[in-house]
Amino acid sequence: MRPVCLARSEVITGFGDGTASLWQGAMAGQRAFAPVDRFDTSQYLADQAACVPGLTPGQDGSLAAPLLDRLLERLGDVPDGTRVLTATTKGAIDLLEAGCRQKPVTPAKLPLGVAGERVAHHLGLKAGPNVSAACASSTIALARGAEMIARGGAEAVLVVCFDLMTEFVFSGFSSLQALSPESSRPFDRERNGLTLGEGAAALLLIAPEMVDIAATESPIWLRGWGVASDATHITAPARDGRGLVAAVDAALSHAGIDVDQVAGISAHGTGTRYNDAMELTAFRRLFGDRTVPIHSLKGAIGHTLGAAGGIEAALAKPILKQRRLPPTAGLTVPEDGGGGRVSAKPQALQKGCLLSTNSGFGGINAALLFSEEAP
């Protein structure tokens, strides 16, 4: 099978536009959280989130199209014939909110497949499907895009992912008692929930033959991928981390590398008691006593739902090139089992692969392995 290159990426997050601003904010341990002003939070557990600065509704009243358009303007052109995959869990759900509040809404704009149509139209490409797999959506889209290239079915695949910070989602996580009343503190001993964020990412995967054409600077390589389900609970992860372990094992097997070659982990790290405990359990099962550095981006930009995997994957390049893992913002005292692994400061990495993982409702788990060098 062919190697798969991550040629370039663009992101829009609570830190603003571009991977550079995301990297700088993450490395400085900054947090993009601010009081929510889009809706009344007085009945909810929390009042903060990480919203994209300067994002205003489009003509249809939704923030989705402006966010996508802003991202695609930054991305620029991609090679002719690039296949498109999108990943979003709720799309333009703010339109449904308006509809429920008796404002006019066009139902045809609501289905999640509309995202792919918009991306394709903007870039002059053929629309592809939207992947919906909860908070592992963009990770799974990247895995499938990579497989398509590896098997010779595509020369280039563009994965575009996004999710909005809306009252729909905010109220839901509040009702599940999953929001932190303060701000999320991934892997912290006193963590008490997640903080929501919004964002978008576009990642261009290409075959090696396209590197000179499509990669703007030295690329990194997507070496392995794996997806597996817990089959235990709809909203809570399997406590023994079985699904995540299976996904990582599949990724390692796919990459043909040993677990000892993993130098660092970009974890899902939402800040909820159950997720973070599950991940530490899974990583202990995988890595034993070896203290592989771990970080979570969600303490900095919040939980961006279906876009999380893509945004986190976009940081793989600076992490691997500089061999530094950003601090886990919000962390003060690590959870038992996180000591020596998670840190409130940047961590140096040995040479090796970066493991990026995400998990979601429905018991889904996905893992990606990146390396600086081609296989």
Partner 1 sequence: MEIVVSGLGWVVADGFGRGATGTFPGLRPGRLPEVKRKDLFDNPDRQFGRLDPFSRLGVAAAVLALQDAGRAPGKSETPTALVAESRWGCLTTDAAYFETVVPDQGAMASPHLFAYTLPNTFLGEVGIRFGLTGPAAVVHAGPNRGVNALAWGLETLAWEPVDAVAVGLTDLVPEGEDDLSGALFAVLEPVKGDGVGLQWSPESGLVGPFGPIDDLLQLALMD
3-class state of residue 176 by DSSP: coil
H-run or E-run covering 307? none
Q: Which two tokens stand for residue 326?
A: 């950003």
Q: Which stretch binds partner 1 (CB under 8 A): 50-58, 134-142, 274-282, 341-349?
A: 134-142
Question: C-beta of 232: minimal distance to partner 1 in Å?
Answer: 7
| Maximum Cα–Cα distance across the chain | 58
Does the active-site annotation cover 268? yes
| CB neighbour burial string for 102-111, b if at least 16 within 10 angstroms, e if fewer | eeebeeebbe
Which residues between 234 and 253 bind partner 1 (CB under 8 A)?
A: 234-235, 242-243, 246, 250, 253
**The length of the chain, given as a count of residues:** 375
Residue with tokens 């571009």: 18
Question: Which one of the listed residues 135, 161, 295, 353 is annotated catalytic?
Answer: 135
Could you say which of 147, 261, 337, 375 contacts partner 1 (CB under 8 A)? 147
Neighbours of 260 (CB within 10 A): 10
Task: Name the token pair of 120.
Answer: 């394709």
Site for partner 1 in 3-22 (CB under 8 A): none
Main-chain dihedrals φ then ψ at residue 161, nearest 5 degrees: -130, 150
The nearer residue to partner 1, 227 or 307, going by C-beta atoms, is: 227
30-49: contacts with partner 1 (CB under 8 A)? 40, 42-44
Q: Among 140, 138, 181, 143, which residue's Cα sits nearest to residue 163? A: 138
Q: Is 361 in the site for partner 1 (CB under 8 A)?
A: yes
Size of the site for partner 1 (CB under 8 A): 63
Residue 140 CB, nearest distance to partner 1 (Å)? Answer: 6
Active site residue 100: no
Among 16, 79, 337, 362, binds partner 1 (CB under 8 A): 362
In angstroms, give the least distance from the CB of 188 to partner 1: 24
Question: Measuring CA to CA, which residue among 165, 217, 147, 170 is closest to residue 14?
Answer: 165
CB nearer to partner 1: pick between 127 and 292: 127
Among 20, 213, 231, 348, binds partner 1 (CB under 8 A): 231
Binding region for partner 1 (CB under 8 A) out of 74-82, 125-133, 180-188, 282-290: 125-133
Under the binding rule (CB under 8 A), the answer on residue 261 touching partner 1 is no
Helix (H, G, I), strand (E, B) or coil at 234: coil
Phi and psi at residue 260, to the nearest 5° = -70, -15
Which tokens go with 321?
A: 């090139």
| Residue placing its CB nearer to partner 1 in the complex, 160 or 325 | 160
334 binds partner 1 (CB under 8 A): no
Strand-pair category, 364-371 with 220-229? antiparallel
Q: State which of positions 157-186 bind partner 1 (CB under 8 A).
A: 167-168, 171-177
Q: Is 5 a known active-site residue? A: no
Give the C-alpha distances (Å, rounded to integers) separating 375 from 10, 208, 351: 24, 11, 14
Residues of this chain, 85-124, that bind partner 1 according to CB under 8 A = 89-90, 93, 96-97, 99-101, 107-108, 110-114, 116-117
Phi then psi dihedrals of residue 145, to 5 deg:
-60, -40
Q: Residues 51, 254, 303, 353: which is the catalytic one?
A: 303
Distance CA 366, CA 357 (A): 6
Question: Which tokens is 56 given?
Answer: 């205003």
Binding site for partner 1 (CB under 8 A): 40, 42-44, 89-90, 93, 96-97, 99-101, 107-108, 110-114, 116-117, 127, 129-134, 137, 140, 144, 147, 151-153, 167-168, 171-177, 227-235, 242-243, 246, 250, 253, 360-364
Instruction: List, by residue number, the catalytic residues.
Output: 135, 268, 303
